[in-house]
Amino acid sequence: MRIGELAARAGTTTRTLRYYESRGLLPARRGPNGHRVYDEGDLRLLRQIRTLQDFGFDLEETRPFVECLRAGHAEGDTCPASLAVYRRKLDELDALIGELRAVREQIGLRLALAESEPPLCELGGRELWSRRRA
């Protein structure tokens, strides 16, 4: 298939395909007429890249998965290098989750503290609030 058909089937653009080619992720085969030619295996590579990017992997992190597919494996995540990338990504996610939990805890504490104080307002401040509560 030609580049336009591959792009359409993969749900991407020809520009993206050329970029992947320049990064060595997509093979640069040419037909007798000089046009780029692709096959179903290339479509599988693109789908693997897109899936991983949807999961938050950067383009370079997809390389071991692409190489695994190119080596003839049915799935791109069955090679040791791919598994190592999965492990690193899980470690990154665990760290981010920890950071988010800490931020959430701080915000929760600040909210609880703010709610325990009488509100300040432009129409009388704490004094007005105190009278209403009495």
Residue 4 token pair = 């336009």
Q: What count of other Cβ atoms lies within 10 Å of the Cβ of residue 84?
A: 11
**pLDDT confidence of residue 97:** 97
Q: What local confidence, expressed as pLDDT, does residue 110 receive?
A: 94
Q: How many residues does the chain have?
A: 134
Nearest-angstrom CA–CA distance, 20 and 60: 10
Residues facing residue 30 across a β-bridge: 36
Taking residues 84-110, what's their average pLDDT?
97
Going 53 to 55 to 5 to 36, the CA torsion angle's sign is positive
pTM given for the model: 0.75
Q: Tell me the per-residue pLDDT of 26-43, one tens digit each, with 9 for 90 and over.
A: 998 999 998 899 999 999
